[in-house]
């Protein structure tokens, strides 16, 4: 049963990516093409998602643990350094080349698209390589220092 909740979260996440158009590389690239015929749709995707998530973080801020009694694992790092900015710039370059970022790429595998499989395999290789240059390869939310009470969210 412990798998059910993340499974549902993944389904809802994927539904949102499908409905919003984020899974369509052409639509993503049309959003990133400011100098061409600009499709602003993805700004609304971002706006809707951030607004709902913002409310969730406010609710979490008033709680000591999650509704399932789990500790909140929120990234604690506040350091803004070259790795953060450089990593984001490299990520954005790849995003602009193919119009795919990690979650929509995974969703496209569900559409049985072999090109999406190829992209994801390359992405996994890139991730493995990125971990070599990263301080803590355990990800944005998983470093041991990241665990903290919700009141500091």
Pick out residues in 93-132 that bind another protein (CB under 8 A). 93-103, 105-113, 115-116, 118-131
Q: Kindly state whether residue 78 participates in binding another protein, applying the rule CB under 8 A.
A: yes
Q: Kindly state whether residue 64 participates in binding another protein, applying the rule CB under 8 A.
A: no
Q: Kindly state whether residue 75 participates in binding another protein, applying the rule CB under 8 A.
A: yes
| 62, 133, 144, 145: residue in contact with another protein (rule CB under 8 A) | 133
Residue given tokens 């990690």 in the structure block: 102
Q: Kindly state whether residue 148 participates in binding another protein, applying the rule CB under 8 A.
A: no
- Per-residue contact string for residues 1-40; x = within reach of another protein by CB under 8 A: -xxxxxxxxxxxxxxxxxxxxxxxxxx-xx-xxxxxxxxx
Contacts of 91 (CB under 8 A, 6+ apart): 101
Q: Which two tokens stand for residue 83?
A: 């790795």
Q: Kindly state whether residue 57 participates in binding another protein, applying the rule CB under 8 A.
A: yes
Exposure string over 66-83, b if 16+ CB within 10 A, otherwise e? eeeeeebebeeeeeeeee
Measured distance CA(10)–CA(33) in Å, rounded: 29
The number of residues that bind another protein (CB under 8 A) is 124
């Amino acid at each position: 049963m412990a798998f059910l909740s993340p499974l549902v979260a993944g389904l809802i996440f994927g539904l949102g990516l499908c409905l919003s158009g984020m899974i369509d590389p052409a639509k993503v690239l049309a959003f990133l093409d400011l100098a061409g015929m600009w499709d602003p749709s993805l700004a609304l995707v971002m706006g809707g998602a951030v607004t709902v998530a913002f409310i969730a973080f406010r609710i979490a801020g008033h709680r000591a643990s999650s509704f399932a009694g789990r500790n909140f694992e929120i990234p604690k790092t506040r350091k803004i350094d070259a790795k953060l900015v450089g990593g984001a710039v490299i990520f954005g370059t790849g995003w602009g080349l193919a119009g795919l970022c990690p979650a929509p790429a995974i969703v496209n595998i569900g559409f049985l698209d072999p090109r999406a499989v190829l992209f994801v395999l390359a992405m996994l290789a890139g991730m493995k390589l990125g971990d070599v240059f990263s301080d803590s390869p355990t990800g944005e939310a998983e470093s041991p220092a990241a665990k903290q009470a919700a009141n500091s969210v």
